[in-house]
Every structure is written in C-alpha cells, then in structure tokens.
C-alpha cells in the first residue's frame, strides 16, 4: 500500500469502468482541477462523466488525507466533485476497497469528518458540512476523524495500533500553535523534556542512553526520522525540528527495534512532512514574539506536469535573541537561528509506480541556555557569566528517494534510499566561569547512507511485509581543548559502522475477534573505530561485530469494531561500539537489550465522539551499557548494568459539541537501576533513572467560538525528578539534587480574517513559572523558559 499522505490519483481500480480507462484525458481533468482551485471551490471534473454513477462497482482508494482520497474516488467513479479545500484541511480518511455505490463510497470516505457529499444531479457532487439539527449541543454528531499511522511500516488506523503511540496531525499542530517538535513532546505523556530540548527521553530513558560514550557517538536510544531520513544526533538535542509544513508526528513509546533497528531501544519519533499534490498551493507566514523572536516561512506547490509530476517547496527561517543574558560579555547568551528548506517531487511514471524525491537542508545555530548558580544553590534568573561566546552550529543535508511499485492490488514493492551529511561545530566554555579561559573547540563530520527494500502485502485478513536493510555511517571527530588561547590537548578519531538487517512483520485476522501479530528482525553490525590522536589517553584502534535477533509477538481481541484489547512482547536493543570520549579506554562494548511486556486497550464511545487508549508495560533491561573504571584510571563503557521499568500511559479525546473538543492524557512510570555502579565507583543501584519524572499530566481543549475564531489551551504538570545523585567517599548515595515540579499553562488563539488570511497568537507558560530543569552539580543550572508570546499572520493565496 502507498503511504497515506501520498496522492495516488493514477493508481488503477481493480475493475475499471470504461470512463476510468482514459489516461490521456487525465491531464486535462487535473488542469481543470488546478484552475478551479485557483479561482473558487475545488472541482474535479473528468473528461467523460459516468452515466450510471449510482451503480455499485469496485474501488480502491488508499487511506490518507481527506482531500486526496475524495479526489481519487471521484476520478475512479467518473463524477464531478466540488469542495472547499479548507473543509478537508487537516482531515484524514480511512479509504475504501471493494464494491460501493457512489453515495455509499462518499459516505465511507467522509465517515467521522462531520461532512457529507450532496448529489446535485448529472453526476455532480458537492462536499459540505453536515447540517446541524436542533438540539445538537445535547447530542452532537461524531466529528473525530480517522487518524492513520505509518511509522511501523504497516499502514493502519490509530485505533488499530497496539504500540503506545501519540500522534499529532497537521490539524493538531495548528490547533496547539506548535512551532517545533519541542512543543509537541512537551504535552505528550511518557515523554520528558527540558528547556532547549537538550535533555529529553521516552519512558525515563534519555535520547542518548545512560552510558558516557563521548560526543562523537553514533548510538542513541531513540530513533528519529523525517521523511524516511535518519536525523543526526546533534539535530535532536541541539535545536527542535520545525513544524512548518509538517503533516504528522508519531511518537512511539517503547522499543521499536524490530521495525526501526539499532537506535530504537526506548522508542521512535517519525515525522512526515506534507507531500506534493496536483492541487496548486501557495502560502506564506510571518511571525514575531518575545525575546526578539521573528521569522518567515513560505510553501509553494502544485502540478508541474499535470497527472505526472507535482512539486513542493517549503522554507522556514526563525531567529530569536533568547531570554538569558551573558553578563560577562554583555550580550545575549542563547541566541538562536534556524533555516529549514525542503523540496519535493512526486512523480507518477505509470499507473503502477510512484516516486517521491525529497531534498532537505537544515542550518541551526544555538547559544548556551544555562544560567548561573548562586551561592545558595538557586538559579540566577536569567543570567550567565561566561568569558566565552559559547555556541553550537549544525548544517545537515538530506536526500531521500522513495519508490513504490504496485505489483497488483495486494502486493507493493517499496525502495527507500537516503543519504544525510552533517557538519557540527561547537565552542564551549570548559571551566564555565568568567575568569579562566579554557575552551573546547569541536568539529564533527558525518555521512550516513541507508537503503531499505521491502515487499508489502495487504488483503482482507492478512497484512505484512518482508524486507532487507543496509546502512553505512561514518563519523569524523576533532575535539581540541585550549587553555588561554594555546592548544592543551586534542582527540582526533573516526568511526565507520556497517549495518545489515533482514526483517518482517505480519498481522493476521484469524477470525472476526482475534488477530495475531508477529515480527522478527536479524541485525548484523560491524563497528570500526580509529584514534589518530588522543592527548589524554592512549590512542588506538578497536572494532566490534555483533548480531541481534529481535522478535515481536502480539495478540489482539476485538470486543467490537472500535474496541480492542491487546498483549505484546518484544525485544529491544541498542548496538554496541567503542567509547570515543577523551581520556577513556577505547575498547569495544557489546549491545544492550530490553524485553518489554505490554498490554493495551483502544476504544471509542458515545457514537464515536470519544476515543480512548491505554498501555501498561513492564521492561527488563539487561547487559546495560554503563561507564566504569577499568582499574587503571581510565573510563570504559561496559555491559555491567541491569534495570527495570514499569508504567502506564492513558489518553482520551472527546468532541463534547461540534464546537468544543477536549483532550486529556497521563503517564506513570517507575524506573529503577537494579545494578549500576559508575566509573567513579558511585553505586546507583536501587535508584530511579536520572531526569525521569514519576508521572505527567496534560489536559486541554479547543473551542470554536465562531466560524472565524478558535481558542485553545493546555495545562501540563510534571513533578520533580532526580538530576544528580550525591555520593560519599565509599560511593553510597547520600543526597539527591532534583529538578522542580512545574505546572505550565499554554494558550493559543486563531482568527480567520478572510478565507485565505488567518492570524494566530500564543502564550507559553502563561503564569511565568520559574523552575529548574536540570539541577546539575557544576556552577550552572538549566532552567525552563519564562513566559513567551508570539503572533503570526498566514496567507494562503
């Protein structure tokens, strides 16, 4: 099956009617669609209208954006369809397959959208909002749309997904005024995050893992991909990804190793930006805000060759002065600048092939978001005393080519090729003070090449895929420590990783009630690391070859069409490697593994106006990678730790009325190091994971006051969590430094001035809460952002 967000207007029907077998006329129809969109409501008018539009025949419309699904269905049915693109914006359809009358087909595609297709005669249809009957506030119509997820490589409804996943659609992103990935994760239970996005994790596991592998490591605990391209580690921790022109964000809580592979032990974040369509689009946005925030964004797209090639270009530039002042240098300490540019081409060489090419460029620069610690241990809001203009800068270029070849209505062959190049430059104040001049200068270059080939199958009772993966990652590291402007020490190293995998997964509907889920991945990796120079420890060379077998097994019991219970067990893993930190023993260490037992529930209530989800999990962590002293004074990473995690994640959405949507979610997590002794001999056994809050709560809603005015808000509460354990001379924990508990209130407002112009405003941290996010032991602390405000003006031309 093609991806839900990719237009598939040219995919053949199983039993095409004569009026649908005219490929030469399709460009004319799409040209008519283009002109209609520019000068009025969207109209799809095939060259020849079907005379027997009411008769049932077979259709095949993939799940996806509602506008794309409606257009594809109209093309196959041979009817004229008109609708306002704004009605379909941000909505999704579950698609359809099989015999339907035209009226039935439209009803199926529009199910849960609050819209309906009205027949106007002569094979013409218009999509409108369904009329509201009297007393509707007391018995509102179901309006929760269908949400499709694709991150596990089997397209399915959110309500049919066993894994614990939080989804933010384009509609959600707009309703919450999300500017970046940080905003999305902030309200997602089961995900903890701190100011500046430098510390974040899933289910209590930090994105970089618990070991101390050094700044050049290629191993992480959470996999993040954008349009199929893996993101560099520094992009994830340095500056959040922009949400401009993003179609959907899927945050998977818990291991995704069977599907994603080597860096998904704690979860995965899958970001899909909007793909080209044959509908013309031009939009721009300008924004201003507190702390010197200003920015501009633009997107343009449409048919380049009608029916054959469509393109899309999105650019977003943002900058801000920040809220922290470097009092020593007399300038802003956390200045930020980001440029994100992305171009896409969608090509239909034939009715059976779809090609999507993506080129993306990212250029981000950030300052230092720490603040000074006063003598009493509290933060000096919002001041910093560095004699170095500390900053981080990363430039990333990614190219992705995805090819879907539809062998027939059941089988699809998919190839995804991506290459990502990164350059990371950094200047750090090593002594973190205003007197000594000790600076770290870093330059890291990365090159990541990935190729995946998989064969997918979908029928009424069986869905699945088998595939192969090959990847090569190379990372060159050059770190230098300067003392009073003179070189004091240096480490130069490079790492090459070659990863191969065979994988597969299936879903089998054994009968109307029971479904079996099974998956398996075999992962093989070879890591070669070479140290050309290390002035702080002995340089050298080491390598590691490892294999991992990663099974997944689950079962689903359906209480009804919209209610199900599930149980699943799967193995997660993070690959081994070689410690690249200066002053360490550069020896290889093995992979670490988790086993997670998870039970889930998905349900819909009140005529599908409410949907709910819950997941309960228990995870055992073995061969955990931790830093230890090798007995000679050097640190090394070894598989010497054991941990466990238990928790619960619940969420609910409710359309209380046609104008009011409410949501609530919560997570509870209990983490514990069963066996964890650090390189300094500190014993954390029996303690909770650092930075992992025990629970998280979020509630909010969106209220449409009028057809033009929307008001929304969220309340997020997160309790304190440990930031550092204080030990005595024998390594026993005697005290704990903690972050602050905090309750944040965020509000947003949207007002549509006209059909094509909208103004939006937001305020984050409404009550200007001051709170510590990382109570570390050094002379500085990390704190949350103060109250921030912003206004944006968007025009869709």
In a domain, 178, yes or no: no
Contact call for residues 502 and 468 (beta carbons, < 8 A): yes
Maximum mean pLDDT: which of 236-250, 525-539, 615-629, 640-654: 640-654
* Residue 513: CB atoms within 10 Å: 12
pLDDT band at 16 (very low <50, low <70, confident <90, very high): very low
Indicate if the pLDDT at residue 52 is higher than 50.
Answer: no
Question: Looking at residues 371-393, what average pLDDT do you find?
Answer: 92
Omega before 181 within 30 of 0, i.e. cis: no
Predicted pLDDT at 397 = 95
Indicate if the pLDDT at residue 284 is higher than 90.
Answer: yes
Indicate if the pLDDT at residue 282 is higher than 70.
Answer: yes
Tens of pLDDT, residues 749-777: 999 999 899 999 999 999 999 999 988 87
Q: How far apart are the first and last CA of the chain?
A: 33
* Residue 666: both structure tokens together: 């919560």
Q: Measuring CA to CA, which residue among 593, 448, 575, 452 is closest to residue 523? A: 575
User: How many domains is the chain partitioned into structurally?
Assistant: 2
Bigger pLDDT: 121 vs 647: 647
Question: Looking at residues 684-710, what average pLDDT do you find?
Answer: 92
Predicted pLDDT at 96 = 74
Tens of pLDDT, residues 125-184: 888 876 654 444 444 444 577 888 999 999 888 989 999 999 999 889 988 889 888 899
* Residue 73: CB atoms within 10 Å: 26
In a domain, 765, yes or no: yes
Predicted pLDDT at 484 = 85
Question: Looking at residues 632-642, what average pLDDT do you find?
Answer: 76
In a domain, 539, yes or no: yes
Predicted pLDDT at 213 = 62
DSSP state of 180: B
In a domain, 115, yes or no: yes
Provide the strand spans (E) within 49-188.
Answer: 57-61, 64-65, 80-83, 92-93, 96-100, 115-121, 124-129, 148-149, 156-157, 164-169
Predicted pLDDT at 51 = 34
Predicted pLDDT at 64 = 66
**For the residues of 24-45, what is the DSSP string, one character each?**
GGHHHHHHHHHHHHHHSSEEE-
Predicted pLDDT at 98 = 63
- Output b/e per residue, 237-246; b: 16+ Cβ within 10 A: bbbbbbbbbb
The rounded radius of gyration (Å) of the Cα atoms in the chain is 27
Residue 489: CATH number of its domain: 2.40.170.20
Contact call for residues 603 and 157 (beta carbons, < 8 A): no
Interatomic CA distance for residues 666 and 161, integer angstroms: 19
Contact call for residues 396 and 343 (beta carbons, < 8 A): no
**Which of 101, 129, 157 delimits the end of a domain?**
129
Interatomic CA distance for residues 492 and 449, integer angstroms: 23
Percent share of the chain, pLDDT over 90: 57
Q: Which residues contact 341 (CB under 8 A, 6 or more apart)?
A: 313, 314, 315, 316, 360, 361
Predicted pLDDT at 220 = 82
Indicate if the pLDDT at residue 47 is higher than 80.
Answer: no
* Prediction pTM value: 0.83
Residue 83: CATH number of its domain: 3.55.50.30
Indicate if the pLDDT at residue 9 is higher than 60.
Answer: no
Bigger pLDDT: 725 vs 357: 357
Predicted pLDDT at 31 = 38
Indicate if the pLDDT at residue 46 is higher than 70.
Answer: no
Structural domain boundaries enclosing 583: 258-796
Predicted pLDDT at 8 = 32
Tens of pLDDT, residues 80-118: 888 777 677 657 777 776 667 788 788 888 876 778 888
Interatomic CA distance for residues 605 and 600, integer angstroms: 17
Contact call for residues 744 and 715 (beta carbons, < 8 A): yes
Of 131-140, 467-476, 536-545, which range is least confident?
131-140
Strand partners, 494: 476, 530
Indicate if the pLDDT at residue 344 is higher than 90.
Answer: yes
Bigger pLDDT: 94 vs 705: 705
Predicted pLDDT at 215 = 67
Q: Measuring CA to CA, which residue among 614, 616, 612 is closest to residue 652? A: 612
Q: What is the dihedral of CA 482, 484, 486, 487, to 10 degrees?
A: -20
Of 361-365, 534-538, 698-702, 725-729, which range is least confident?
534-538
Tens of pLDDT, residues 176-211: 889 888 899 988 999 988 766 567 899 999 887 776
Bigger pLDDT: 498 vs 678: 498
**Which of 71, 102, 129 delimits the end of a domain?**
129
Indicate if the pLDDT at residue 238 is higher than 80.
Answer: no
| Pairing relationship of beta strands 80-83 and 709-718 according to DSSP bridges | unpaired
Predicted pLDDT at 63 = 67
In a domain, 239, yes or no: no
**Which of 129, 152, 178 delimits the end of a domain?**
129
Predicted pLDDT at 724 = 87
pLDDT band at 632 (very low <50, low <70, confident <90, very high): low
Percent share of the chain, pLDDT over 70: 86
* Residue 659: CB atoms within 10 Å: 18
Are 119 and 268 in a shared domain?
no
How far, in Å, are 224, 247, 256, 274, 613 from residue 270 at the CA level? 6, 11, 11, 13, 20
In a domain, 160, yes or no: no
Tens of pLDDT, residues 558-593: 998 889 999 999 999 998 888 888 777 788 889 999
Average pLDDT across the chain, whole number: 85
Q: Measuring CA to CA, which residue among 641, 598, 640, 648 is closest to residue 619? A: 598
| Half-sphere exposure for 311 (CA within 13 Å, toward CB) | 7
Predicted pLDDT at 40 = 39
Interatomic CA distance for residues 162 and 480, integer angstroms: 47
Interatomic CA distance for residues 138 and 656, integer angstroms: 9
Predicted pLDDT at 595 = 97
In a domain, 512, yes or no: yes
In a domain, 9, yes or no: no
Tens of pLDDT, residues 668-692: 999 999 988 877 778 889 999 988 8
Are 125 and 273 in a shared domain?
no
Strands lying side by side in the sheet with 124-129: 42-44, 80-83, 124-129, 115-121
Interatomic CA distance for residues 279 and 680, integer angstroms: 61
Q: Measuring CA to CA, which residue among 605, 612, 671 is closest to residue 641? A: 671
Q: Measuring CA to CA, which residue among 101, 42, 40 is closest to residue 66? A: 42
* Residue 466: both structure tokens together: 């088998």
């Amino acid at each position: 099956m093609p991806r839900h967000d990719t237009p598939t207007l040219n995919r053949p029907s199983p039993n095409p009617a004569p009026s649908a077998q005219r490929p030469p006329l399709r460009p004319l129809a799409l040209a008519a669609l283009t002109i209609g969109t520019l000068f009025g409501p969207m109209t799809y008018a095939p060259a020849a209208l079907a005379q027997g539009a009411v008769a049932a025949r077979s259709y095949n419309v993939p799940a996806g954006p509602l506008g794309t699904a409606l257009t594809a269905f109209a093309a196959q049915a041979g009817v004229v369809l008109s609708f306002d693109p704004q009605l379909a914006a941000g909505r999704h359809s579950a698609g359809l397959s099989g015999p339907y009358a035209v009226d039935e087909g439209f009803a199926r595609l529009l199910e849960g959208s609050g819209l309906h297709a009205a027949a106007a005669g002569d094979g013409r249809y218009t999509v409108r909002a369904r009329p509201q009957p009297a007393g509707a506030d007391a018995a509102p119509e179901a309006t929760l749309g269908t949400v499709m997820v694709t991150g596990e490589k089997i397209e399915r409804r959110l309500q049919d997904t066993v894994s614990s996943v939080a989804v933010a659609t384009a509609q959600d992103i707009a309703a919450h005024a999300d500017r970046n990935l940080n905003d999305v994760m902030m309200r997602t239970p089961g995900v903890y995050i701190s100011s500046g996005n430098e510390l974040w994790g899933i289910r209590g596991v930090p994105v970089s893992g618990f070991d101390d592998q050094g700044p050049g490591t290629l191993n992480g605990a959470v996999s993040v991909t954008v349009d199929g391209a893996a993101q560099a580690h520094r992009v994830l921790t340095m500056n959040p990804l922009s949400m401009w022109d993003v179609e959907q964000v899927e945050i998977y809580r818990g291991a995704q190793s069977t599907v994603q592979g080597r860096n998904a032990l704690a979860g995965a974040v899958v970001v899909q930006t909007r793909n080209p369509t044959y509908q013309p689009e031009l939009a721009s946005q300008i924004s201003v805000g507190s702390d010197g925030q200003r920015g501009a964004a633009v997107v343009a797209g449409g048919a380049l060759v009608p029916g054959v090639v469509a393109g899309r270009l999105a650019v977003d530039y943002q900058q801000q002065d920040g809220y922290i002042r470097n009092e020593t240098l007399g300038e802003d300490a956390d200045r930020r600048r980001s440029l994100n540019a992305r171009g896409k081409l969608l090509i239909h060489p034939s009715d059976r092939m779809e090609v999507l090419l993506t080129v993306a460029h990212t250029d981000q620069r950030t300052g230092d978001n720490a603040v000074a610690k006063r003598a009493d241990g509290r933060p000096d809001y919002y001041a910093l005393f560095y004699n170095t203009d500390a900053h981080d800068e990363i430039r990333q270029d990614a190219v992705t080519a995805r090819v879907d070849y539809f062998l027939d209505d059941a089988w699809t062959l998919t190839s995804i090729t991506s290459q990502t190049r990164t350059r990371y430059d950094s200047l750090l104040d090593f002594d973190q003070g205003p007197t000594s001049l000790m600076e770290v200068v870093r330059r890291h270059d990365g090159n990541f090449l990935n190729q995946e080939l998989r064969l997918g199958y979908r029928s009424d009772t069986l869905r699945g895929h088998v595939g192969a993966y090959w990847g090569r990652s190379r990372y060159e590291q050059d770190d230098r420590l300067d003392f009073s402007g003179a070189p004091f020490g240096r480490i130069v190293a490079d790492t090459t990783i070659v990863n191969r995998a065979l994988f597969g997964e299936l879903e089998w509907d054994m009968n109307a009630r029971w479904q079996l889920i099974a998956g398996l991945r075999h992962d093989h990796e070879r890591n070669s690391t070479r140290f050309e120079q290390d002035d702080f420890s002995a340089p050298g060379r080491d390598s590691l070859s490892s294999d991992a077998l990663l099974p997944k097994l689950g079962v689903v019991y359906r209480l009804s069409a919209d209610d199900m219970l599930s149980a699943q067990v799967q193995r997660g893993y993070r690959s081994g490697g070689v410690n690249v930190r200066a002053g360490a023993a550069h020896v290889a260490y093995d992979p670490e593994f988790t086993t997670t037992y998870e039970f889930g529930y998905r349900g819909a209530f009140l005529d599908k106006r409410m949907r709910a989800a819950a997941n309960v999990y228990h995870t055992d962590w073995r061969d955990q990678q931790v830093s230890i002293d090798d007995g000679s004074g050097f640190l090394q990473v070894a598989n010497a730790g054991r941990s466990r995690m238990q928790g619960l994640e619940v969420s609910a959405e409710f359309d209380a009325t046609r104008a009011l949507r409410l949501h609530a979610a919560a997570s509870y997590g209990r983490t514990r190091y069963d066996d964890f002794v650090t390189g300094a001999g500190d014993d954390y056994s029996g303690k909770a994971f650092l930075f992992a809050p025990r629970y998280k709560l979020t509630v909010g809603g969106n209220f449409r006051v009028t057809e033009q005015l929307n008001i929304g808000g969220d309340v997020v509460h997160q309790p304190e969590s440990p930031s550092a354990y204080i030990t005595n001379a024998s390594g026993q924990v005697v005290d704990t430094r903690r972050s602050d508990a905090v309750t944040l209130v965020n509000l947003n407002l949207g007002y549509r001035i006209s059909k094509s112009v909208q103004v939006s405003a937001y305020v984050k941290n409404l009550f200007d809460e001051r709170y510590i996010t990382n109570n570390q032991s050094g002379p500085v602390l990390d704190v949350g952002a103060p109250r921030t405000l912003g206004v944006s003006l968007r025009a869709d031309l």
